[in-house]
Structure 1
Amino acid sequence: MVIHDDLGWLLQTRLPESGQRNLSDWLASWRCLAEQHPAPVTLALRGGFVADRLGWAFAAGYQAAMRAAFPGGGMTEAFCATESSGQKPRDLTTALTRTAVGVVLDGAKSWSTFGAACDYLLVVARDPAAEEQAGRPVLRVIRVPASAPGVAFTAQSPLPFISEVPHTAVTFTGVTLPESALLQGDGYSDYLKPFRTIEDIHVTLAMLAHALREVRRVNAAGDTAGLLAELGVCLAACAHLAAASPLAPSTHLLLETVQQQATALYGRVGERLLASGDVAAARWQRDTPIFGVAGKARALRVQRAREQLGLT
């Protein structure tokens, strides 16, 4: 199985010697990986391992998730859903208009991971020509070249953690695209709703793989073999969830347990880095808030899962 091959590689391959000083370095590394390994799970694992910091591990997991959710795209992509008013269907005002020459997109998104460094943006937009379904507007997803006329990026201040990973706001003004740029299916149920779970799985894989790399790299005193084994078990459990339905309540319930285990392991790895006096220890501590991002949304997701499974 792929996961067993990947785990063997993570535990035995030679540690990378070069660092990833900036976005250009990371993009070059990512392109090499993506050309060799098409499977999103493998990309998340290997991308997290070769990353020299949590920020680039997150980047690898995010891009692997984009490939899992939106096959057949570019080397780097971003999912653009959130607007200044939120990301629920009724919060969204970005809309598309059908014309004789194709589809015209207008609106603004407040968050775009990687921004102008992307090849494509996957944009969630209202389809005003369609009647509402289940009391909500009909949404579609459209693949937009980041360099298309009418696309404009506005840089945002770096986050206080994983600050190497850029993000921008983006506006779309009369962006004209062919009808074929629209993805098949419903923008909410087929893309917006499952993406958070797909992203969580692949980012967790990448960060666990990076944590395993750090344990191998510092080789500090203590039961290194035991900690590596626990990281491997957590990785294997998370990787198997990548093949499950991202909408199934059982997936959400199991993923919550995996992420709780992963968080405990991250803490132990951080302690190892501090105890070893390693130069990466301070950056690891700076970046630990990434482990808790979207915690409230995940808590609601697992609560709904418990209710659906009759476990409350």
Structure 2
Amino acid sequence: MTSNDSTMDDFLAAYFENTTQMFTCNNESDWYHYWESEGLNRLNPPLIAMKGGMQAPNLAYVFIAGYQAAMRHVFPEIPEDGWTALAASEDVHNPTDNPPLLFTKNGGTIRLNGTKSWVAQSKSVDYLIVTAKNDNKERAMVLVKIDQQGLLMSHRESPSFLADMSQGFARFSEAIVDANALIEGERLKTFMKSESKFIMLALCGWFYKQSLKNQPALAADFRLLAADYFSVSQDNTTKVTVLADLDTRLQSLFKTFSSESNTNTIANWQSDCALVSMYSKGVQSRAAKPVNN
């Protein structure tokens, strides 16, 4: 990934100098092609989230912006092109028909069999990082190309949340990948912590852009909050109490935006605005534990 040490202020100055209008985006495919044409993957993850959030036409694509930024922060070894999804969820309700993903390592190859129940951007994604266990309950993360032989993708017809983003199901049947596809280290917890920070940063960028025209004071508050998320987004040691304070500010600004803006013009607002509070309960509950005080 190309190094980019721009501060958020540097980025915003360049953004408004070089971006004159919103691009036309009718579907996820348009968003993907914009992403590739702008070379967002070559930016540092905070800039990916901020630019993607500001340019996103809806909250589903704000999620994608933050999600892709988090993926590139936690997994810098993924290929520079395209989108990558972390497939960790499994079907706990019907494990007989949809068994958990198992891996078997044999010399220089890894064999994958089983399923993953949720894949983000499933119609557009280029790579998956899947979590799997072997017969000894040892965990592994494996990088897989979406066109991997033995991998079958299907897609939900009408998701009720973030409906503009495709969401799918992955089934592996005797899929054999090179052992070099193993991702070193246990990074699932790191991703779970990073995902919320980058998505919140992308949301701040989106709210900032939405507020600029008619709510300059609110836009200024979102810009300040974005700067704070920007500064903590790449720090894996940030205390959860700090994140809880940022979340409290975001929830307050979101409430103001919701009450003072014409949200009827925002596609899928009623269902997708839950993205703002999706991580809030977990952050606040962890911060409330005595060990964090």
Once the two structures are superposed, the pairs formed by residues 272-311 of structure 1 within 5 Å of their partners are 272-274=260-262, 280-281=265-266, 283-303=268-288, 306-309=289-292, 311=293
Distance, in Å, in 1 between the alignment partners of 2:90 and 2:195 is: 19
SS in 2 for 1:269: helix
When normalised by structure 1's length, the TM-score is: 0.82
SS in 2 for 1:202: helix
User: Residue 289 of structure 1: CA displacement?
Assistant: 1.4
CA contact (8 A) 2:196 2:279 kept: no
User: Residue 79 of structure 1: CA displacement?
Assistant: 0.4
In the alignment, which residue of structure 1 is the partner of 2:220?
Answer: 229
User: Residue 143 of structure 1: CA displacement?
Assistant: 0.1
SS in 1 for 2:86: strand
Q: Structure 2: 5+ residue runs without aligned partners?
A: 1-5, 94-98
CA shift in 2, pair 1:70/1:263, >3 Å: same
Q: Determine if the alignment matches structure 1 residue 209 to structure 2 residue 205.
A: yes
Output one character per residue of 1:75-133: Cα deviation in whole Å (capped at 9) or x when no partner: 201001111129xxxxx93221012451111111111101242111000111335xxxx
SS in 2 for 1:165: coil
User: Residue 207 of structure 1: CA displacement?
Assistant: 1.1
When normalised by structure 2's length, the TM-score is: 0.87
Q: Determine if the alignment matches structure 1 residue 111 to structure 2 residue 118.
A: yes
CA shift in 2, pair 1:169/1:295, >3 Å: farther
Percent identity, please. 22
Query: Which 10-residue stretch deviates more, 197-206 or 17-26?
Result: 17-26
Structure number with the higher helix fraction is 1
Query: Which 10-residue stretch deviates more, 51-60 or 293-302?
Result: 293-302
State the 4+ residue runs in structure 1 displaced beyond 6 angstroms: none
AA in 2 matched with 1:95: L
Give the number of aligned pairs.
281
SS in 1 for 2:184: coil
Once the two structures are superposed, the pairs formed by residues 45-194 of structure 1 within 5 Å of their partners are 45-74=50-79, 75-85=82-92, 93-128=100-135, 137-185=137-185, 190-194=186-190
In the alignment, which residue of structure 1 is the partner of 2:243?
Answer: 255
Query: Which 10-residue stretch deviates more, 230-239 or 149-158?
Result: 149-158
CA shift in 2, pair 1:148/1:281, >3 Å: closer
CA contact (8 A) 2:66 2:201 kept: yes
CA contact (8 A) 1:241 1:251 kept: no
AA in 1 matched with 2:161: F
AA in 2 matched with 1:212: Y
* CA RMSD in angstroms, aligned pairs only: 2.3
Q: Structure 1: 5+ residue runs without aligned partners?
A: 87-91, 130-136
